[in-house]
Amino acid sequence: MKYKNIIAGAIITLGTMSCDKFLDLQPISEETSDNAYGKASQMESALVGAYETFQSSEYYVWDHVVFSDVRSDNAYAGGDNPEVFEADLLTITPINSRVFRNWSEIYNGILKANTVIEKIELIEDPALSEVRKDQIKGEALFLRAYHYFTLVKLHGGVPLILTPTKSTDPNDVRVPRNTVDEVYAQIITDLNLSASLLPDYYTDENGNDLGGSTNKARATAGAANALLAKVYAQHKEWDNALEAIQKVENSTAGYMLLSDYNHLFDGEHYNNEESILEVQYLGTDEGNFGPQLLLPPSISGDTWRKFVTPSQNLIAAYDAEGDNVRKGAAVLFESVDWVDEYWGNASGSTIPFSYKWKKAMGWASTDRPYLLRFGDIVLLKAEALNEIGNTSLALVEINKIRTRVNLANFSGLSQAELREKILNERRLELAQEGHRWDDLVRQNKAVSTMNNLVEIDLRTGRAVNYDMTDAKILLPIPQQELDRNPALDQNPL
């Protein structure tokens, strides 16, 4: 199968630069290193190149779903890719090429962010105001933090590289791993500085709000604080997470839950009030190839077996809650011509398809993944409040989410009971958005959940043995990277 190459779209203009002029910018990699960073337009172009990682990296296109939903109890591999089956069956090896590609592409994103952070301090072009210089630095710091947060969740401690690599000398490129705490400390430092440099929303030279197509396309103070909340929560610093969440709530950007859950995923309400940051796929040569991999034949036009098949266990979780709204937004059932080892081992079986992306568009969809959305933050607030013992306020937050999808409010729950309810609510709310594995790990539920999971392989009639261990919580360090860099050591396997 061939995946369509995604060409990064430019980000909407700021300040006095016209939209057409900004969209004509090319990623800075197309200029020479000698002259690439002297002008305001070149720095804006370098920033475009840094954001481009969200569109071009396969991890951010769809592997975040593979290594979260497929690796957990939310979905099966589907498709025909042996390395995706490794994620499904928890048998991921250091030579899995997806692991290496994701590592390489995310570090490439860090390199681009580092270059912007370094060069913006040196530029003297009077066309670039000090305010805009601060914003560019804040955006690049956010991007670096986002990528390191991705890596530390996937691999644990990773090398912290904070300046652009300028040498091939082994002493410069063979960098050992930092500890998990050191990586988190750097992420937190970057995000606090980023939040202080970024606006709640971007304006033109007359102070007019540039709107969602800019404010949801690039980092803002709200995005930095939302990511900071997620970082603190994953590191179990609950009071700090709540402080960051309060800043998101107080943002003049005005984030709020949409009244209709379906509007989040219908492809007609991009850059909505609940969106904090989303990838701005435009279609054609700036399109998202991910939906073509997941959507059923009636939508995709393909007859080959699709990936990320919702699991029996996930469908049962929706049904047990009577959650027809979110199930309908996330899952579409259709009969198929192929055999599915969990849903039907005969041609003509009806199986579920992942459906939060709804437009295939021939490998060039306009469907936009949320990098950050407010519904996630509301549930994170419920979790943090419950963890510090404030169950009554935690109930208020989780019930906001349940009310939207016509489910009854919770009441009278103990801290332990509510902890389980919040974890399940996050599952139903955020399925197919790449959160489930992190949620299970954060609540120390990954091992027990996967070992207690009963999924029957219809080819044998036997339950799958996931053989989950603490060692499998993290992905291995790619073998290609270990071969290149002897200073690295492998995760337990």
Q: Residue 33: what pLDDT?
A: 53
Task: Quick: pLDDT tens for 474-491.
Answer: 999 999 999 999 999 999
Write the CA distances from 155 to 46, 55, 59, 152, 246, integer angstroms. Answer: 28, 22, 14, 5, 30
- What 3-state DSSP class applies to 57? coil
Task: Confirm if 350 and 342 have CB atoms less than 8 A apart.
Answer: no
Per-residue pLDDT of 369-415, as tens digits, reads 999 999 999 999 999 999 999 999 999 999 999 999 999 999 999 99
> Which residues sit opposite 365 in a β-bridge?
288
- For range 457-465, the mean pLDDT: 95
Evaluate whether 386 touches 419 at the Cβ level (below 8 Å).
Answer: yes
User: For residue 9, what pLDDT is reported?
Assistant: 33
Length of the chain: 493
pLDDT value at 24 more than 70: no
For residue 10, what pLDDT is reported?
30
List, for residues 413-430, the tens digit of each pLDDT value. 999 999 999 999 999 999
pLDDT-derived band at 349 (thresholds 50, 70, 90) equals confident
Are the C-beta atoms of 260 and 337 separated by less than 8 Å?
Answer: no
Give the pLDDT confidence score for residue 37 in this predicted structure.
Answer: 81
Phi-psi region of 146 (alpha: psi -120 to 50; beta: other; left: phi over 0): alpha
Instruction: Convert the pLDDT of each residue in 301-319 to its tens digit.
Output: 999 999 999 999 999 999 9
> Percent of the chain, pLDDT > 70?
92
**Burial classification of residue 184, based on how many CB atoms lie within 10 Å of its CB (0-12 exposed, 13-18 middle, 19 or more buried):** buried
